[in-house]
Amino acid sequence: MKTAERPQNLATAVREALVVAMEADADVCVLGTDVGEFGGVFRVTSGLLERFGKERVIDMPLDPAGVVGTAIGMALYGLRPVAELTFADHAYGAFEQLTSELARVRYRSNGQLACPVVVRMAAGAGGGGGIHHSAHPEAHFVHTPGLVVVCPSTPADAKGLMLSALRGEDPVVFLEPQALYRRSGGDAPEGDAGVPLGVAREVRAGSDLTIVTWGAMVRVCEDAAAKAAADGVECCVIDPRTLWPLDLDAIAASVAETGRCLIVHEAPRSGGLGAEITALVQERCFLHLEAPVTRVTGFDTPVPAALEDAYVPSVARVLAAIDGIMSF
Amino acid sequence: MSAVLPLETGPSLEVEARIVEGVALASAVEAHLANLAEAGHIGLFPPAGRARVAMTAAALATEPGDMLFGTARDWVAALARGVTVDDLFLQMFARASASGGGRTLPGAVQDPARGVVLSAGAPAAHLLHAAGFGHAAALRGGDERVAIGLFGSAVAFSQDAHRAFTLAGVAGARVVFVARGADGGVGSLHRAAEGWGLRVVTVDGDDGGAVFRAVQRARDRALAGKGPTLVDARHGDAPAVPHDALVLQRAGRLSSEAERAVDAEIRAAIMTARSAADGAAAPGPETLPEHVRAEAAHEDR
């Protein structure tokens, strides 16, 4: 494949990962609503049906619990299903299968059974979908023992993390930021380029303040960090990439150096993953802290279609938080 | 279409005898466990009751490569799939050496080596897993594995049961659903299942031979690519007409000596298992974080 044709957005990067994995492993199959003939609502699975056939690219009724439950059974048979729920909001309809069944197969069988299902879903705002098509529900899944939770922010990470997810033995909730599906984000590497699960990426180096962020908020924080640098504040931006298990060592090492920590996420504030990271940072880095750990998040409301821009953390809100921390 | 099977061509006498003996074992085990639960020696214990006939017969109709999905109440089927009384008691006592490591509701046997995965989650959640397993088996087609999904009439109207029937029918999954237990006054289950492409076969849940043959035929049908079947093996309100003694007599296994020997054998097996489970260790707190995830690096802090 020529360099000019490399995947440059999240949708094409995930698709390439699926192609690589399906070519390498005949047990990998894809199932979900419209994943076959239609190629997926976001076209992530476009072309897979023609390439791999209906035995491995399986259109399902619009029934999230049915999709996840079927995937569990397929995994217990020995396949490696990739289940698409389209929107993360649809995961609520599959909540029991995700949290009480999929997540617990290994634990309840005392390690006798594995259930390596990857559950893909579009997360967050960006499509104007409003209150039932914009959820970013990582906190629910992080709170569920047994699940690995992934949220890439670049095409390279999307491809690499998906490949790793498909080679592991754990169920993985793969949150794909809706806002990034069509946004250019650099080339995904060619071939089989896995990115290890549970390892954070330092997006930007800095010694004054650590920003922990993921998904579509990484770009926002990069822009804010660039503006802050112009005012003499150097921010280290860390993208955990795998939200659980969290690479706390990478975060703590940075906070120990900067003494300040800002967490930015799109999901509602209360009970969000930011609260957990805040607790972990103060447990690990209390004596290093120069200012309170601070959060910039979505609001404790659903995401209204007409007010996406007001809801989602902006560069201005992140800059205001940076100012507040630095002047504490 | 719905069918009531004739009784004249049942399973072999040997199979019928195995069903009767399996039911006798399950009855004795259940009586013992019920007493233990009453005395507070074990946790929540789901009895099988009269459904033990259908559970035993359905399980005996499966083959070694099959996977049996059920609830904690289907521990009787686990016995018929080869789980030993010793293993069952370890599971009921939540011991460390139980196949599930003492992590589930008593009865929810986890023995994938014997093709038994019993859930204690939402009452019909496992039927989707059976449909998925059967869907995968149908897609692959290279082996002769079939999923068996046992369920009680109380979940016949649940979303999970109906979505499992739908998906199995649409996919032509290699799955046999078996309704067992009291009738529960569920009248429309057949029409709904047939509408979704399942063949429905009705048998008397108290007639082990009929259940065995229905499940065996449904299994053959699934393997032949003719789709899933719902075997309605619920029992009615009227008490069953006992024919166990007749079966054993015809099989040459009923005499006062033989009867006493079988009773003694069952009693001894139960007391040995009870004693072993009493003396077995409970899982230690150090096992708490084990098997949350596969990777050691993923273990929670």
Answer yes or no: is A186 within a domain. no
Residues A162 and A278 grouped into a single domain: no
Give helix then strand counts, H and E, for chain A: 12, 12
Last residue of a domain, one of A180, A210, A226: A180
Quote the minimal CA–CA distance from A166 to chain B in Å. 13
Taking CB atoms and an 8 Å cutoff, what residues of chain B touch A146? 292-293
Residue B138: which CATH number?
Answer: 3.40.50.970
- The SS3 call for residue A209 is strand
Q: What is the pLDDT of residues A65-102, one digit of tens each?
A: 999 999 999 999 999 999 999 999 999 999 999 999 99
Nearest to A308 by CA among A74, A135, A117, A143: A135
Provide the number of structural domains found in chain A.
2
Taking CB atoms and an 8 Å cutoff, what residues of chain A touch B293? 106, 146, 148, 170, 245
Residues A169 and A211 grouped into a single domain: no
Give all strands (DSSP E) within A39-171, no chain letters.
Answer: 57-59, 80-87, 118-123, 148-150
Taking CB atoms and an 8 Å cutoff, what residues of chain B touch A63? 163, 166-167
Strand B147-152 relative to strand B67-71: parallel, antiparallel, unpaired?
Answer: parallel
Backbone angles phi, psi at B121, to 5 degrees: -85, -150
- The SS3 call for residue A33 is coil
Q: What's the number of CA atoms in the CB half-sphere (13 Å) around residue A162?
A: 36
Quote the minimal CA–CA distance from A11 to chain B in Å. 27
CB contact under 8 A, B101 and A110: yes
Provide the number of structural domains found in chain B.
1
Residues A16 and A95 grouped into a single domain: yes
> Residue B134: which domain range?
3-280
Quote the minimal CA–CA distance from B44 to chain A in Å. 16
pLDDT by residue, tens only, chain A of 328 residues? 444 578 789 999 999 999 999 999 999 999 999 999 999 999 999 999 999 999 999 999 999 999 999 999 999 999 999 999 999 999 999 999 999 999 999 999 999 999 999 999 999 999 889 999 999 999 999 999 999 999 999 999 999 999 999 999 999 999 999 999 999 998 999 988 899 999 999 999 999 999 999 999 999 999 999 999 999 999 999 999 999 999 999 999 999 999 999 999 999 999 999 999 999 999 999 999 999 999 999 999 999 999 999 999 999 999 999 999 999 9
Nearest to B294 among A61, A66, A114 (CB): A114
Distance CA A170, CA A178 (A): 24
Backbone angles phi, psi at A118, to 5 degrees: -100, 125
User: A218 and A239 in contact (C-beta within 8 Å)?
Assistant: yes
For testing contact with chain B, the best of A31, A62, A77 (most B CBs within 10 A):
A77
Residues A234 and A285 grouped into a single domain: yes
Residues A168 and A287 grouped into a single domain: no
Answer yes or no: is B301 within a domain. no
CB contact under 8 A, B136 and A79: yes
Last residue of a domain, one of A180, A214, A248: A180
Backbone angles phi, psi at B201, to 5 degrees: -125, 130
The runs of H, that is alpha helices, within B39-158 are: 52-60, 75-80, 85-92, 125-140
Q: Cβ atoms within 10 A of the Cβ of A50, count?
A: 11
Cis peptide before A245 (omega within 30 of 0): yes
Cβ burial B116-148 (10 Å sphere, 16+ → b, else e): bbbbbbbbbbbbbbbbbbbbbbbbbeeeebbbb
Answer yes or no: is A121 within a domain. yes
Distance of CA A38 to the CA centre of its chain: 24
Distance of CA A132 to the CA centre of its chain: 18
Does the pLDDT of residue B240 top 70, yes or no? no
For B245-268, the three-class secondary structure string (H helix, E strand, C coil) is HHHHHHCCCCCHHHHHHHHHHHHH
Q: What is the pLDDT of residues A162-176, one digit of tens each?
A: 999 999 999 999 999
For testing contact with chain A, the best of B292, B299, B300, B301 (most A CBs within 10 A):
B292
User: B130 and A66 in contact (C-beta within 8 Å)?
Assistant: no
Answer yes or no: is A317 within a domain. yes
Residues A136 and A212 grouped into a single domain: no
